[in-house]
Structures are given as structure tokens and as C-alpha cells.
Amino acid sequence: MPQISQLMEVYGSQFFWLLIVIGIIYFGIARSMVPKISKTVDDRQKRITDDLAAAQAAQDKAEQIEADYRTSINDARADAVNNVNEAKAAAAKKNEAAVKRADAGFAKKADEADAALKAAKTSALKEIETVAAEAAQAIVATVSGAKVSAADAKKAVKAAF
């Protein structure tokens, strides 16, 4: 083969042109492609940094909103408890006033009933005295045959009571 025998003669020139072509390709890529790739990487890094900053800002805002929400919930609970306590106090006052009115009414009715009972007792005692005096007159008349006056029978019954 004749190409193999010429290899040593053309080896230097082929190596020279190989280095020239590789150098042109290397510097061509370095000049045209590397800046584009670097710009793309830098843009991507900037976008990632911006997105992380936006995410952190959103998280901080969400935490603030949650804190405000919890504060408003706690305030609402406190207001509700205060309202319930005020309503209980008002109901207790109202019930206490109603109980006092009812007690006053019961006391008045009890006093009226006591007075009526005393009047009935007094009336019953007078009737019992009258009946007892009449019975004593009748018994004395029946047993001894003597007549006792109504005034004497009343005195005797009063003395017995």
C-alpha cells in the first residue's frame, strides 16, 4: 500500500493541519458557544434566585396572614366569651328580680293566708265556745235538772279553755 509508505512523509503536515483545525474549532466554540451557554446558565441561576426570593416572600406573607388570622380568631373567641358572660349576668339579674317578685308575692299570699287562718281559728274557737256552752247547759240540765244561764256556761267554758 502506497499510503502507508508515505505516512512518514506527510505525518508532520497532517499533524500541523489537524492542530490548526482543532484550534479553529476550539476557539470558534469558545468565542461563539461558550458565551451563549454562560448567559443561559447565568439567566437560569438568576431566575432560580428570583423564584426562591419570591417564594420566601410569599411564605413570609402567608405566615403573617396566618398570624393575623389566629389573632382575629382569638379576639373573636374572647369577644364571644365576654358576650356569653354578659348574657349570663343579665339573665341572672333578670332571674333574681323575678325570684324576688315571686318571693314577695308568695310572702304576701302567705301573710294573707296566715291572717285568714287566724281569723278562721278565732271564729272556730268562738263557735266551739258557743257550742260547748250550749252543750254544757244541755248536759247540766239533763244530768242534774238545774238550769244554768248562758253567761255562766260561757264563763265555765272559757275557764276550761
Q: List, for residues 40-83, the tens digit of each pLDDT value.
A: 999 999 999 999 999 999 999 999 999 999 999 999 999 999 99
3-state SS of the chain is CHHHHCHHHHHHHHHHHHHHHHHHHHHHHHHHHHHHHHHHHHHHHHHHHHHHHHHHHHHHHHHHHHHHHHHHHHHHHHHHHHHHHHHHHHHHHHHHHHHHHHHHHHHHHHHHHHHHHHHHHHHHHHHHHHHHHHHHHHHHHHHCCCCCCHHHHHHHHHHHC
Residue 78 placed within a domain? yes
Residue 98 placed within a domain? yes
Residue 157 placed within a domain? no
Structurally, the chain folds into a number of domains equal to 1
pTM for this entry: 0.43
Residue 11 placed within a domain? yes
Residue 125 placed within a domain? no
Find how far residue 113's CA is from the centre of its chain. 49
Domain that holds residue 21: 2-117
Q: Tell me the pLDDT tens digit for each residue of 107-155.
A: 898 988 988 899 988 888 888 888 887 888 788 778 887 777 777 777 7
CB atoms within 10 A of CB 103: 10
Residue 101 placed within a domain? yes
Residue 66 placed within a domain? yes
